[in-house]
Amino acid sequence: MDMYAVMFYFFAVVTIASAFAVVSTKNIIYSAFNLMLTFFGVAGIYVLLGADFIAIVQLIVYVGGILILLIFGVMLTNKITDSEIKTGWTQVLPAMLVVAAFAGTLLGMVLKSNWRVLPQLQQPVTGLADIGVLLVNEYALIFELLGALLLIALIGAASIARK
């Protein structure tokens, strides 16, 4: 196994194990911190795919923003941390159906996709400049719409906070 494969399996194991811990642990704080590990694992996989920018944005937005706010919220509401989350078996059949359908779709996608193999991955990493050019040319409309969406969310949050 070369370094690339070792790193990939490391990040994959970190991601999956911590994601499993997020849903299985009974302590909500542990879930939150495991979620951080999941985000890190995913960021690592992005780096291995040559998407440095997405990896770093993933860290800034998810770990630096969303996760910190999540932990913040959990810690401020002190009753959540004391109460145990109930995990158990309910709705087994519908859950299994949905999961099977979802897993089947994913598996179909995995098998049908035209995957890039290793030598192609060693091409130069897409730079920040290229992403910028793409964002303001090809995807300008989507980019602007997303900006407007975020602005709406911001104004909404401010107006709710004022009440």
Partner 1 sequence: MIYNFLVDLIGNEAVAAFINSIIPLLFIVPFALFAVYLERKVSAHMQDRLGPMITGWHGWLQTIADILKLLQKEDITASKTDKPLFFIAPILAFTGSYMAFAAIPFSSAYIGANIDLGLIFIAAVSSLVVAALLMAGWASNNKYSLLGAMRSAAQIVSYEIPTILVILTILVVTGSLNLYTLSENQTNIFKWLIFGGYGEGWQKFAIIPFMMVGMVVMFISTLAEVNRTPFDIPEAESELVAGFHTEYSGMKFAMFFLAEYANMFAVSVLVSAIFLGGYQSPFGYIGDVIGVSWLIPIEQFMWFAVKGLFFVFVQMWLRWTLPRLRVDQLMEICWKYLIPISIANFLIVAFLMVLL
User: Which residues of the chain form contacts with partner 1 (CB under 8 A)?
Assistant: 3, 29-30, 33, 36, 52-53, 56-57, 59-60, 63-65, 67-69, 71-72, 75-76, 81, 125, 127-129
Half-sphere exposure of 162 (CA within 13 A, CB side): 6
Tokens of 62: 């998810």
Shorter beta-carbon distance to partner 1: residue 96 or 157: 157
| Closest distance of CB 131 from partner 1, Å | 10
The alpha helices in the chain, defined as continuous H runs, are: 3-24, 28-48, 52-58, 68-76, 78-82, 92-112, 118-121, 128-136, 140-162
The Cα 135–Cα 146 span in angstroms is 11
91: left (phi > 0), else alpha (psi -120 to 50), else beta? left
Taking the complex as a whole, the smallest distance from the CB of residue 55 to partner 1 amounts, in Å, to 9
Shortest Å, Cβ 74 to partner 1:
9
* Residue 112 or 162 having the CB closest to partner 1: 162
Comparing CB distances to partner 1, the nearer of 88 and 119 is 119
Give the shortest CB-81-to-partner 1 separation in angstroms: 8
Which CB atom, from 73 or from 104, has the smaller least distance to partner 1? Answer: 73
Our CB check for partner 1 shows the closer of 96 and 128 to be: 128
Question: What whole-number distance in Å separates Cα of residue 85 and Cα of residue 23?
Answer: 10
Closest approach of Cβ 149 to partner 1, in Å? 19
Contact call for residues 63 and 36 (beta carbons, < 8 A) = yes
Q: How far apart are CA 97 and CA 102, in angstroms?
A: 9
